[in-house]
Structure 1
Amino acid sequence: MTKLNTSTYSYYFLLPAGIIYFTFFLLPTIMSFFFSMTWWTLTDWEFIGLENFKTFLSEPSMNIGFKNTVIYAVMTCGLKIIFGLLIGTFLCTRLRTVGFIRSMVFFPTLLSTIAIGIAFSMMMHPSQGMINTVLSAIGIVGPDWLGDVKIALLSVALVDVWQGLGIATVIFIAGIMSIPEEYFEALMIDGGNSFQKFWHIILPLSRPAMNTVIILAFIGGLRSFDLIWVMTKGGPGFSTDLIASIIYKQYQAGFYGISTAGNVILFIVVSLLAFPLHYFLNRKEVDL
């Protein structure tokens, strides 16, 4: 009987996943790089080199779109970390209703982003929205949340944080619950209070969970599109335009090659920002 080569045999189990990965990720990525250098429609294409990249980068809204993308990613990432850690710490206490509260915190993540965008657009209406109606009832004149160029991006970012906070909280809960109980018992014996418990044990030892939240939230912020488009469509003016919304506008106008080049640029931007951040965070984690 022929002896089975176990090293080769094990690779057969990876073959189905490899085929799926190549078909739905690698091949589309390669084709995107190719078609970004062509003028193309559904039936024809013509190679034009780097012209699409030059045209996309010369867009009037590109400068503000890039700035808004970075600001939006940093803002949503930072708020998810702060509130996710605080809520996660609170939900690791021994409360009778902790299970119910965890479910309520995670619930917005299960909702459709489009539905959330439509609902909050109505709630943030300057004259008929629920938010300004409540504020006016207590004597406060509410702003035009989505029509004011100074706060429109912040308004959408807060809705993004509200929806994505559940995932960040769950990750922090998992990280905190993985901390050995002996550390907390030792702190109690030494007379430590709740703040010292958070500052000296939870904060440093939940670093792996925090790194995960940072990477996921930051990349998600850089790639964000649907919430922005539903709530503001990049307006007023270009004040809430992100790179992804500029790409979609090119698709709408029928400039498929330019929009594909924009996707490639977004892929490069996310890679140039995310990979160094991932390396830096992992190095810090090892240093601990």
Structure 2
Amino acid sequence: MKSIMFKRTYSYWFLVPAGIVYLLIFLLPTILSFFFSLTRWDLVDWTFIGLENFRMFFREQSLAIGFQNTLIYAVVTCFLKVVLGLFLGVLLTSKLRSKHLLRSILFFPTLVSTIAVGIAFSMMMHPSQGLINSALAAIGLSGPDWLGDTKLALLSVAFVDVWKGIGFAVVIYIAGIVSIPTDYYEALQIDGGGGWHKFWSIIVPLSRPATHSVIILSFIGGLRSFDLIWTMTKGGPGFTTDLIASIIYKQYQGGFYGLSTAGNVILFLIVAVLAVPLNMYLNRKEVER
């Protein structure tokens, strides 16, 4: 009995390093964020002010458009990553000869720094000297001001986000599609089913766990997005591409540390309120299946 207890205790000690890292990097900063959101603080001193930071944050002039932009950005990037990820996942698990090379090419943007991607696409989307509009001009088309047009700027950044993140979605879909037992395909072939039946009746339903993962990761990533927006537009023109995260950063730049911390807490709660029910709904659908 003592030997069994010793083995159990011994194995738990291996969890201690991970527990310490989790405590220092995630749990402790989270608790401190909740505390400092109730204070007016700088780098050396703080004063407790209760919920005043939250009241000020909700009176922020651009908050309404920031919340709207955040939802639009998250939904658009999530939807495109799911649709394109599934399509490319099917393509790259087919008998295509160059599929291994294409997998590497698609995944490469995921490895590149988001800041570098933002700077590169900002140059490419320049209205007069950018590569995209120059290519359009070469075939007789007039390109728009991708990042200066209030109607196009947010969607332009969203498409760049999809370009950068689609490789990760494709990898998840490839893993999900490859794990489908071949018995289903053989049964479909015996029944005389074609490529469309294979896709709609086998791949789509049986790759649902992969779809679930892509939806949750992409949606949360879209809600928390900041670096690409800030690199490409800094929330402009005006406030038309401001997300909640960029509003928080502007407050931090202005020296309102308590206010920006309260904004981070609010963003955390928004992500939790939207993502947790979505995750539960997708899990329930998967169990029902």
Q: In the alignment, what sits opposite 2:80?
A: 79
Alpha-carbon distance between aligned partners in 1 of 2:8 and 2:277, rounded to the nearest angstrom:
34
Please provide the CA RMSD for this pair. Answer: 1.1
Q: In the alignment, what sits opposite 2:164?
A: 163
Q: In the alignment, what sits opposite 1:250?
A: 251
Alpha-carbon distance between aligned partners in 1 of 2:150 and 2:58, rounded to the nearest angstrom:
23
Alpha-carbon distance between aligned partners in 1 of 2:3 and 2:140, rounded to the nearest angstrom:
84
Alpha-carbon distance between aligned partners in 1 of 2:12 and 2:172, rounded to the nearest angstrom:
32
Deviation, structure 1 residue 140: 1.2
Alpha-carbon distance between aligned partners in 1 of 2:101 and 2:159, rounded to the nearest angstrom:
23
1:200-231 Cα shifts (integer Å, max 9, x gaps): 00000000000000000000000000000000
Alpha-carbon distance between aligned partners in 1 of 2:12 and 2:273, rounded to the nearest angstrom:
32
Deviation, structure 1 residue 79: 0.2
1:107-161 Cα shifts (integer Å, max 9, x gaps): 1101110010000000100111111111111121111000000010000000000
Q: In the alignment, what sits opposite 1:240?
A: 241
> One-letter code of the match for 1:117?
G
Q: In the alignment, what sits opposite 1:28?
A: 29
For 1:46, what is the secondary structure of its paired residue?
Answer: strand
Pair 1:41–1:174, CA change in 2 (3 A):
same
Is 2:218 the counterpart of 1:213?
Answer: no
How many aligned residue pairs are there? Answer: 288
Alpha-carbon distance between aligned partners in 2 of 1:111 and 1:10, rounded to the nearest angstrom:
38
Q: Mark the runs of 5 or more structure 1 residues left unpaired by the alignment.
A: none
> One-letter code of the match for 1:36?
S
> One-letter code of the match for 2:131?
M
Farther-moved stretch of structure 1 (38-47 vs 3-12)? 3-12
Q: Mark the runs of 5 or more structure 2 residues left unpaired by the alignment.
A: none
Aligned residue runs from structure 1 range 30-49, under 5 A: 30-49=31-50
1:13-37 Cα shifts (integer Å, max 9, x gaps): 2222111111111110000000001
If the length of structure 1 is used for normalisation, what is the TM-score? Answer: 0.98
Alpha-carbon distance between aligned partners in 2 of 1:66 and 1:232, rounded to the nearest angstrom:
17
Deviation, structure 1 residue 2: 5.5
Q: In the alignment, what sits opposite 2:57?
A: 56
Q: In the alignment, what sits opposite 2:263?
A: 262
> One-letter code of the match for 1:93?
S
Deviation, structure 1 residue 8: 3.2
Alpha-carbon distance between aligned partners in 2 of 1:221 and 1:205, rounded to the nearest angstrom:
26
Aligned residue runs from structure 1 range 135-154, under 5 A: 135-154=136-155
Pair 1:140–1:25, CA change in 2 (3 A):
same
Alpha-carbon distance between aligned partners in 2 of 1:13 and 1:119, rounded to the nearest angstrom:
44
Farther-moved stretch of structure 1 (5-14 vs 237-246)? 5-14
> One-letter code of the match for 2:220?
I
Deviation, structure 1 residue 4: 5.1
1:172-227 Cα shifts (integer Å, max 9, x gaps): 00000000011111111222111111000000000000000000000000000000
Q: In the alignment, what sits opposite 1:110?
A: 111
Q: In the alignment, what sits opposite 2:123?
A: 122
> One-letter code of the match for 1:229?
W
Deviation, structure 1 residue 39: 0.5
Q: In the alignment, what sits opposite 1:17?
A: 18
